[in-house]
């Protein structure tokens, strides 16, 4: 009887330890750390694609990392950063109807670069767009 009680106690402790390890492993897999670098592409007015690897240097958002790296510039608006210059190429929508379209994995982004958290495995891009 005593052996059975000790066995149950040991089994309980092992189960609690296993659960704790599983939970901690799950937390570290998605620990919220920003990747140290990410891929960035720029498609210019000629359709030429330039590829870069941008170091995040602890920045949380794509926009902040790109600004810190000198890859983008723009104007702060009530809606966030309006990007006017990418990789040294400046556009003026009011003058010529051209703007920089922000994309994630080739798809139109639903958030601006300054509101987009850097995620591992994603490819971020700006595309010179007339429209």
- Residues 24 and 61 both lie in one domain: no
User: What is the pLDDT at residue 43?
Assistant: 98
Contact 113, 103 (CB under 8 A): no
β-sheet bridge partners, residue 38: 54
- Residues 19 and 3 both lie in one domain: yes
| Pairing relationship of beta strands 72-77 and 37-43 according to DSSP bridges | unpaired
Report phi then psi at 21, rounded to 5: -65, -40
Domain of 85: which CATH number? Answer: 2.170.130.30
Alpha-carbon distances, residue 17 vs 6, 9, 24, 30, 78 (angstroms): 17, 12, 11, 20, 50
The fraction of the chain above a pLDDT of 70, given in percent, is 76
User: What is the pLDDT at residue 10?
Assistant: 44
- Residues 23 and 56 both lie in one domain: no
What is the model's pTM?
Answer: 0.74
- Residues 45 and 85 both lie in one domain: yes
The list of the chain residues with pLDDT below 50 reads: 2-30
- Residues 108 and 77 both lie in one domain: yes
- Residues 41 and 15 both lie in one domain: no
Number of domain units in the chain: 2
| Structural domain harbouring 72 | 37-130
């Amino acid at each position: 009887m005593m052996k059975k009680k000790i066995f149950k106690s040991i089994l309980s402790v092992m189960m609690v330890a296993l659960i704790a390890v599983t939970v901690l492993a799950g937390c570290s897999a998605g620990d919220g750390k920003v990747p140290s670098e990410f891929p960035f592409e720029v498609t210019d007015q000629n359709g030429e694609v330039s590829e870069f690897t941008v170091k995040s240097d602890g920045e949380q958002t794509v926009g902040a990392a790109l600004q810190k790296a000198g890859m983008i510039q723009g104007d702060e608006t009530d809606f966030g950063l309006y990007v006017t210059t990418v990789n040294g190429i400046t556009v003026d929508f009011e003058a010529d109807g051209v703007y920089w379209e922000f994309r994630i994995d080739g798809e139109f982004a639903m958030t601006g670069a300054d509101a987009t958290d850097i995620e591992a495995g994603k490819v971020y891009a700006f595309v010179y767009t007339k429209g």
